[in-house]
Structure 1
Amino acid sequence: MQENNTPIHSLSHDLSTLVDDPDRGTLKLQDVIEQLGSRGFGLLLLLFSFPSALPVPAPGYSIPFGALLLLLGFQLLLQRRTPWFPMFMLNWSIPTAKARNTLHRSARFFAMLERIVKPRYLWTTCSWLRPLSGGIVCTMAFLMLFPIPLTNTLPAIVIFCCGVGMSERDGLFTLAALALGILAVMLYATIIAVLLFYGADALAWLTG
């Protein structure tokens, strides 16, 4: 079931609509959420998980962004249609010209992304799947809050893939991301069980 009957545009198209508005001097987080609606979840999941999803994660982002991702995950779990943030965060803004330049520099990435993902399996936008997505995002974001080696990258990749699937309305990609998330939960559950059973010896082996 599709969420609405509006034309399905790519994420880059909708973002371009925002940054190419000549009357908009600054771009607020609230503007992005209003433009993208429920797809704002996907974009924010993508942006907040990206630094920790890199092969060499950018330091210092996992805990603050993990907390924001946990907030977004809870909202998906509660089936909110659009992301909610406190007013002081909604007023966060950057100059539109800077946002435009950033989007243009990212054009190659979006072009590659949109060759892989596309609107399909739109029945996955129905309400029963959103709590599952929220549960996976919450679990992965919770793992990101712990500054333990090797615990940030995989959860961030799962959230990043969920964000890509949601923002581009690619149900197949979203389902694949959720499957990866379930495998990640099983992996970390196994690691925790090993640590509980073998104690300090297992921790020393895992950390090298």
Structure 2
Amino acid sequence: MTNLASDTTSNTTTEDTLHKPSLIEAIEKLAEEAPQEGISLKELTHALGDQAFGAALFILALPCCIPFLYGVPQIVSLPMAAIAAQMVMGRKQPWLPSKFAERKISKEGLEKTAKGGRKYFGWVEKLSRPRLTFLTSSKLERVIGLVLMVFCLSILTPLPSTNTVPGFAVAMVSFGMLERDGLLTTGGLILGSAWIAILLTVGTAGIKLLLGLGG
């Protein structure tokens, strides 16, 4: 009987391990169980458990990936930049100042985030695997954090749909870091860098045009 109980416990533990929810599934469950008034960013990051920076950045970046979703991207962009800054400083766990930590995301916003995660990254979750792992090493984490800061701050650009591309870039990089997928991480860095280059080019051209009109 003792052996049978032991085997049953062992099998249950094995099944729990095998059926451990993925990050996207965890986000879906979080949205489903959230109260109607939503949850704070502090509650959101704590709910992610031990997945630290990658999970926090990924879940905060998801609303930014949704075209024409206004409000939520602007709420999460500065906290995202703060988390990326902590990567640069070499912190082991993300921390948000109370000003950011108490900001709330509504249940509706969470549900849209979960749907966006499944829609845009469900297939990535299936294909992603550890590869080129040196690109996701702790030695490069500070450099990646610095680049992500720029991506996150660009979301605040006051132009239509400017949250979508950098949102995808941050989500790709953070998901790649979680899965130790250097290829996915690099793809996100390239996408975000191209976006920043476009913003700078358009911004420079706009300034020159205004100066020309003023002259």
Distance 1:147 1:59 in 2: 11
Give the aligned residue type for 1:126: S
Shift of 1:194: 0.6
User: Partners in 2 of 1:107 and 1:194 — Cα distance?
Assistant: 37
Match of 1:66 among 77, 82, 85: 77
Query: What is residue 136 of structure 2 aligned with on the other side?
Result: 125
2:50 to 28, 35, 41: 35
Q: Counterparts of 1:68-87 in structure 2 under 5 Å?
A: 68-86=79-97
Q: Which amino acid aligns with 1:147?
A: P
Cα RMSD (Å): 4.0
Matched, 1:136 2:130: no
What's the secondary structure of 1:199's corresponding residue? helix
Alpha-carbon distance between aligned partners in 1 of 2:119 and 2:19, rounded to the nearest angstrom: 14
* Aligned-pair CA distance for 1:164: 1.6
Q: Tell me which amino acid in the other structure corresponds to 1:159.
A: V
TM-score of the pair, normalised by structure 1:
0.67
Task: Read off the aligned partner of 1:198 and give its amino acid letter.
Answer: L
Q: Which residue of 2 aligns with 1:205?
A: none
Q: Is the 8 A contact 1:79 1:131 kept in 2?
A: yes
Contact map agreement 2:73 2:155 (CA 8 A) in 1:
yes
2:201 to 190, 194, 197: 190
When residues 201 and 45 of structure 1 are mapped into structure 2, their CA distance, relative to the original with a 3 A threshold, is farther
Residue 174 of structure 2 aligns with which residue? 163
> Whole-Å Cα distance in 1 between the matches of residues 207 and 120 of structure 2?
42
Question: Which aligned runs of 4 or more in structure 1 are off by greater than 4 angstroms?
Answer: 13-17, 27-31, 106-111
Distance 1:150 1:59, change over 3 A: closer
* TM-score (ref. length: structure 2): 0.65
Q: Pick the structure with more helix per residue.
A: 2
Q: In the TM superposition, what is the alpha-carbon distance from 1:147 to its structure 2 partner?
A: 2.7
Using a 3 Å threshold, how does the CA distance of structure 1 residues 10 and 156 change in structure 2: closer, same or farther?
A: farther
Partner amino acid, structure 2, of 1:44: A
Contact 1:72 1:83 in 2 (8 A): yes
Greater relative CO, 1 or 2 (CA 8 Å, sep 6+): 1
Q: Percent identity?
A: 23
- How many Å separate the matches in 1 of 2:61 and 2:20? 17
Q: Are residues 149 and 128 of structure 1, via their aligned partners in 2, closer, same or farther at CA, if it must alter by over 3 Å?
A: same
Which of 63, 83, 92 is matched with 1:51 structurally? 63
